[in-house]
Amino acid sequence: MTTRIIAVDVHDVRFPTAADADGSDAINRGDYSATYVELRTEAGPTGAGLTFTNGRGNELTVGAVKALAHHVEGRTVEEIFAEPVTFWRSLTADPQLRWLGPEKGVIHMAAGAVVNAVWDLRARLADRPLWQLLAEMSADELVAAVDFRHIGDAITPAEAHAILSEGEKGLDERLELLRTEGFPAYTTSVGWLGYPDDKVRALTRQAVAEGWRAVKMKVGGPIEDDVRRAAIIREEIGPDALLMMDANQVWDVDEAVSNMERLAPYDPYWIEEPTHADDVLGHARVARAVAPVRVATGEVAANRVIFKQLLQASAIGVCQVDACRVGGVNEVLSILLMAAKFGVPVCPHAGGVGLCEYVQHLAIFDYLRVGRSLDGRMIEYVDHLHEHFTDPVRVENGRYHLPEQPGYSVAMRPESVARFGFPDGPAWR
């Protein structure tokens, strides 16, 4: 029995979030949106994937999915997973479309949505949540899913195999711990740049009451404002809770170093995106200057080659891989493996639309099979837009529960897709 993909449906779904400054930071402000992909099969289940965008321009990732669809339509899930790197390259190294990236931006995000939909479909066929499907795969099969081209100088297939084999040991105990305690999380909902001080204080107080012991604030506005807000949040969370800061790339390298001197009194745990996402050498300089504060980045790190360099250059102390910025599960696997080899904890980027739903699977698999430690590991949590998913995340007392339904958890409710469809859905008319 094989499952053939007969059509790729793609939806432009946008939520009008710009008006109330939810999700606003030093450089982005928009209507949280999704390029939502459904792989239709003849008799079987539908595979769901998405990429997150910030509103205008979502039609471009929609268009890019359409441009890639012919690589998927008519193929069977079994064929695809018999030669996973060949399939992955058909999307990411298409001899005409590659020029548009290469392996970055619109075309790569679209490839990621398609790749993730294929993995979702496979997990549904196996009747398992994605994290479980991955955790039960053999080291051979996982290694075969990774494209080592252009990262061979950082990790070899043999090294990856050794990490994954080692990860089989003690897996049951780690799983039991997650079932009992959940996966640690932190919240970003307290300190968006658009929020006034009293709202920041009230939200922080509420977060502490809800059990959060790690919170993140946005910085990158006028430094005096950042300092004042940091003081408010630190005052509310007390000295022992973790305070992360996120500059969303707005600073120059030297500016990042001097601003972090100003913010140091509030004991930041990490500084996220201190400067331009492409600046590996700049991140390395900031990392040396702000230690022991960690540098974190990844949400717009375009691909495995950028992550490879961030790790090689000791530029990051926290790896914030995103589920849909890079080319889907296959490329995320390569990044988790490199992070493990270089000893850097993975704390995936989330928020947006469906990112929490996605990345919980990655963090759980990483703990079970790759990184094998919870030390310094947290999944970002933002309490936005979960109601639009059929299998939303469940977060309590600052911890994610294990997802239990089959798949990759980003299937959207048909009524949400219809209502927020752009530009013709009732929410936009």
**Catalytic annotation, pick one of 104, 108, 216, 349:** 349
CB of residue 404 vs its own copies: minimum separation in angstroms? 31
Taking the C-alpha atoms of residue 166 and residue 218, their distance in angstroms, rounded to an integer, is 38
CB of residue 250 vs its own copies: minimum separation in angstroms? 9
The alpha helices in 167-213, defined as continuous H runs, are 171-181, 197-209
Per DSSP, which regions of 233-342 are E strands? 242-246, 268-272, 294-297, 318-319
- Residue 237 is encoded by which pair of tokens? 């969370």
Binding site residues, its own copies, CB under 8 A: 18, 27-31, 53-57, 59-61, 63-64, 67, 93-109, 149-150, 152-153, 249, 252-255, 275-282, 285, 300, 302-303, 305-306, 308-309, 312-313
To the query of whether residue 199 is one of the catalytic residues in this protein, the response is no
The count of C-alpha atoms lying within 13 angstroms of the C-alpha of 386, restricted to the half-sphere facing its C-beta, is: 15
Taking the C-alpha atoms of residue 342 and residue 218, their distance in angstroms, rounded to an integer, is 28
**Catalytic annotation, pick one of 216, 218, 283, 308:** 218
For residue 386, the 8-state DSSP code is G
Helix (H) or strand (E) holding 48: strand 47-53
CB of residue 381 vs its own copies: minimum separation in angstroms? 20
CB of residue 226 vs its own copies: minimum separation in angstroms? 18
CB of residue 342 vs its own copies: minimum separation in angstroms? 13
Comparing CB distances to its own copies, the nearer of 70 and 179 is 70
**Angle at 44 (CA atoms; ends 325, 126), nearest 5 degrees:** 65
Taking the C-alpha atoms of residue 349 and residue 188, their distance in angstroms, rounded to an integer, is 11
C-beta separation of 206 from 242 below 8 A:
no
Comparing CB distances to its own copies, the nearer of 282 and 345 is 282
To the query of whether residue 349 is one of the catalytic residues in this protein, the response is yes
Taking the C-alpha atoms of residue 25 and residue 351, their distance in angstroms, rounded to an integer, is 13
Comparing CB distances to its own copies, the nearer of 102 and 221 is 102
Q: Return the active site residues.
A: 218, 349
